Amino acid sequence: MAEQTQAQQARTQAPTTGREWHLVARPDGWPVPEDFALVEVPVRAPGPGQILVRNEYLSVDPYMRGRMNDVKSYAPPFRLGAVMDGGAVGRVVASEAEGFAVGDAVLHGLGWREYATVDAAGAVRVDPALPLQAYLGVLGMPGLTAYAGLLEVGGFQPGEAVFVSGAAGAVGSVVGQIAKLRGASLVVGSAGSDEKVRRLTEEFGFDAAFNYREGPVAEQLAKVAPEGIDVYFDNVGGEHLEAAIGALRLRGRAVLCGAIAQYNDTTPPAGPRNLALAIGKRLRLEGLLVGDHYALRPQFAAEVGGWLAEGKLVFEDTVVEGFDQAVAAFLGMLRGANTGKMLVHVAA
Amino acid sequence: MAEQTQAQQARTQAPTTGREWHLVARPDGWPVPEDFALVEVPVRAPGPGQILVRNEYLSVDPYMRGRMNDVKSYAPPFRLGAVMDGGAVGRVVASEAEGFAVGDAVLHGLGWREYATVDAAGAVRVDPALPLQAYLGVLGMPGLTAYAGLLEVGGFQPGEAVFVSGAAGAVGSVVGQIAKLRGASLVVGSAGSDEKVRRLTEEFGFDAAFNYREGPVAEQLAKVAPEGIDVYFDNVGGEHLEAAIGALRLRGRAVLCGAIAQYNDTTPPAGPRNLALAIGKRLRLEGLLVGDHYALRPQFAAEVGGWLAEGKLVFEDTVVEGFDQAVAAFLGMLRGANTGKMLVHVAA
């Protein structure tokens, strides 16, 4: 025993099988549980340059719905009969890679499985002093999406008024807080329940918020932002985008980040009927993918990490317990069951 | 007589009355001749710092339709019972302003009248060596719109593929030619008649063109630009914009310049149902008004004027004879009767 390496020790402790969630059918409209299968597979020992990770938290994200369709898009479609890729954090349980030791906390992209055998190049060690799940949310892809979207694509400037849809979600809740911290004159948001609306103003510091299910978005937006807005951060599409185009002031910007309202539509949604207003108001609408903005990561980590450390920025997760609940968590997220980041807690 | 100044001489030659076209009713949908009235008014002698201009050509433009509605927009609405403002060129017949002599060719914005009494600050002397009407078209507002829209708002780069709708119009025909002269890999356009389509390729140098009345725009666009486009210059809105969003490649840009397809709609038009594609493709849609780009005028005048002088850029006007035909010219322009700039020739 004395001559075993740490890696060998860890390997002997690793289990021989683990579970994965596979996509087994492409949904037509809303996904259903039958589109997925829980599969038990052998755990592959790490080869040279690889690590074995026991996942602790999995990410379920809106963009995954798009990857379930067999269409060319920015991310390749999920393969049928294969695991649902995506963000996950866990601990190294065996390492054959330099720079990774057993017990290290890591972030990787191999998704919905209990154990992942990861190439070292595909894993990032994260600060174990911070909550692990923050790397899937406020300090991870959703946080960077909010930061880059508001500041780079949206060109937000201090003193401007910002409207965020899906504002209680993983991205939206961070957008609103960054806007306030960066000097917005007004930050308003929409969400799909009174409880979320309450949290927007009481916990996330929005100036005002409304429940979009309670009346026309344009009317409710006009009440909370009667003088209009300069930046609209769109997580929703549909009626929200049309209302925002109406409310945007001269040279306003719409950051097109998501369109969750229509991801499960089987017929094309209505487009904004007032888009011609963009001419006279010289509006700019621009699509955002976080992958274009990785150069911002150091600045993002310093600024947002600093706000977190100072307690100026808060985050909230909605954590679903149990690996077997991953599909339920995903479907719940698509229906808006979460406040902040929706996560699956894998290991008790 | 020998002691009269030139201005006094000219003033004595000036007529005492002239005609104007007034807007007398706000159209609901398509304008009709009854919305306008031809009115005879006294010609006002120029005061200090003013000139009296006998108009030779009047401009009729799509944006004027928007100004006929009583809504807040980038340009104030026309007043009822007042003259239709707009671009006009003519000759000075009396001057009380320094820098303007009788006989000078000038451009001003006082619109649909035979004689205009213009503040010197509101008039620009133009080069009498060039055709006067060019200052209402290729060297004027439509030309600068094309230039600034393609290069500044559209961010066109050599080697890119460009699609222009309303391509046989005053702006579109210049956009396509500038794109070719600046090194586009492909320039395609749409227009509303086979004759216009023929001119696009045979006279204006487009690589390909189609008649949008002959089939779905998306299908016809896919035939002429099977590998997609990088810049879409939108003069039309509606189905064209949706087709272009589908055809735009990664990081493509849509310049929103006009939406003539819907200016006379009384119900909101359908918006582009595929706008969510802008997220994954990181498209940028941006509104264009020429007034934001006056700083480009010297560069525009040098580059486009140079191409004109070298015969590399051609332009075409559709000239309607007679001041009394101004309304007919305007209505014809809205229906696409023109190739290139639609003008009214005031004086025989």
CB contact under 8 A, A275 and B272: yes
CB contact under 8 A, B271 and A237: no
- Binning pLDDT at 50, 70 and 90, where does residue B348 land? low
Tokens of B54: 């006998």
Mutate to test the interface with B, among A245, A275, A289 (most CBs of B within 10 A): A275
pLDDT of residue B249: 97
**pLDDT higher than 70, residue B163:** yes
State the CB neighbour count (10 A cutoff) for residue A333. 24
Q: Which of A39, A57, A38 is nearest to A111 (CA)?
A: A57
Report strand pairing: A341-345 vs A50-59.
antiparallel
**pLDDT higher than 50, residue B267:** yes
Counting Cα atoms < 13 Å in the Cβ hemisphere of B178 gives 33
Mutate to test the interface with B, among A279, A284, A285 (most CBs of B within 10 A): A279
CB contact under 8 A, B279 and A289: yes
CB contact under 8 A, B237 and A282: no
- Residues on chain B touching A145 (C-beta within 8 angstroms): none
Tokens of A160: 């401007």
Distance (Å, whole) CA B181 – CA B79: 41
Question: Are the beta carbons of B61 and B6 closer than 8 angstroms?
Answer: no
Model pTM score: 0.88
Tokens of A93: 């349980």
Question: Are the beta carbons of B311 and B334 closer than 8 angstroms?
Answer: no
Q: Contacts from A304-309 at CB under 8 Å and sequence distance 24+? A: A304/A138, A304/A139, A304/A143, A304/A147, A304/A174, A304/A178, A305/A139, A307/A177, A307/A181, A308/A130, A308/A134, A308/A138, A308/A139
- How close is the nearest chain B Cα to the Cα of A150, in Å? 15
Distance (Å, whole) CA A246 – CA B152: 25
- Binning pLDDT at 50, 70 and 90, where does residue B14 land? low
Mutate to test the interface with B, among A63, A235, A251, A256 (most CBs of B within 10 A): A256
Counting residues of chain B whose pLDDT is more than 90, the rounded percentage is: 84
Distance (Å, whole) CA B197 – CA B211: 6
Counting residues of chain B whose pLDDT is more than 70, the rounded percentage is: 95
Tokens of B312: 């590399």
Question: Are the beta carbons of A250 and A49 closer than 8 angstroms?
Answer: no
Question: Are the beta carbons of A174 and A142 closer than 8 angstroms?
Answer: yes
Domains recognised in chain B with CATH numbers: 6-136+316-345 (3.90.180.10), 141-292 (3.40.50.720)
Residue of B nearest to A66 (CA): B280
- Residues on chain B touching A287 (C-beta within 8 angstroms): 278-284
**pLDDT higher than 50, residue B255:** yes
Query: Could you say which residues of chain A have pLDDT below 50?
Result: 1-4, 7-12
Mutate to test the interface with A, among B232, B255, B275 (most CBs of A within 10 A): B275
Q: What is the DSSP letter of A194?
A: H
CB contact under 8 A, B66 and A280: yes
- Which of residues B120 and A267 earns the better pLDDT score? B120
pLDDT of residue A130: 85
User: In Å, what is the CA distance from A1 to each residue of A8, A12, A72, A305, B128?
Assistant: 10, 11, 52, 42, 99
CA dihedral angle for residue A333, residue A336, residue A339, residue A340, rounded to 10 degrees: 50
Distance (Å, whole) CA B92 – CA B122: 13
3-state secondary structure of B212: helix
pLDDT of residue B13: 61
pLDDT of residue B129: 83
- Residues on chain B touching A292 (C-beta within 8 angstroms): 282
pLDDT of residue B3: 46
Question: Are the beta carbons of B220 and B191 closer than 8 angstroms?
Answer: no
Which chain A residues in 67-126 lie under 8 Å from chain B, judged by CB atoms?
73-74
State the CB neighbour count (10 A cutoff) for residue A279. 23
User: Mean per-residue pLDDT for B269-298?
Assistant: 93
Distance (Å, whole) CA A255 – CA A145: 11
The answer to whether A152 contacts chain B (CB < 8 Å) is no
Which chain A residues in 260-289 lie under 8 Å from chain B, judged by CB atoms?
262, 268-276, 278-289
- Binning pLDDT at 50, 70 and 90, where does residue B4 land? very low
State the CB neighbour count (10 A cutoff) for residue B169. 31
CB contact under 8 A, A282 and B288: yes
B317-347 CB burial, b ≥16 within 10 A, e <16: bbebeebeebbbbbbbbbebebbbbbbbbbe
3-state secondary structure of B280: helix
CB contact under 8 A, B280 and A292: no
pLDDT of residue B176: 98
Tokens of A73: 């898009």
pLDDT of residue B10: 47
- How close is the nearest chain B Cα to the Cα of A342, in Å? 22
User: Mean per-residue pLDDT for B209-236?
Assistant: 97
Question: Are the beta carbons of B112 and B21 closer than 8 angstroms?
Answer: yes
B54-77 pLDDT, tens digit per residue, is: 999 999 998 899 899 988 777 789
In the block, tokens 């005048």 appear at: B301
User: In Å, what is the CA distance from B70 to each residue of A274, B26, B270?
Assistant: 17, 8, 22
B38-52 pLDDT, tens digit per residue, is: 999 999 999 999 999
3-state secondary structure of B145: helix
- Residues on chain B touching A237 (C-beta within 8 angstroms): 275-276
- Residues on chain A touching B262 (C-beta within 8 angstroms): 276
Tell me the average pLDDT of chain B.
Answer: 92
pLDDT of residue A103: 95
CA dihedral angle for residue A58, residue A59, residue A63, residue A64, rounded to 10 degrees: 20
Distance (Å, whole) CA A302 – CA A281: 35
Distance (Å, whole) CA B265 – CA B203: 32
pLDDT of residue A14: 65
User: In Å, what is the CA distance from B80 to each residue of A111, B37, B43, B59, B73?
Assistant: 65, 10, 20, 19, 16
CB contact under 8 A, B284 and A281: no
pLDDT of residue A55: 97
Tokens of A230: 């300069």
The answer to whether A203 contacts chain B (CB < 8 Å) is no
B144-160 pLDDT, tens digit per residue, is: 999 999 999 999 999 99
Tokens of A286: 């621009």
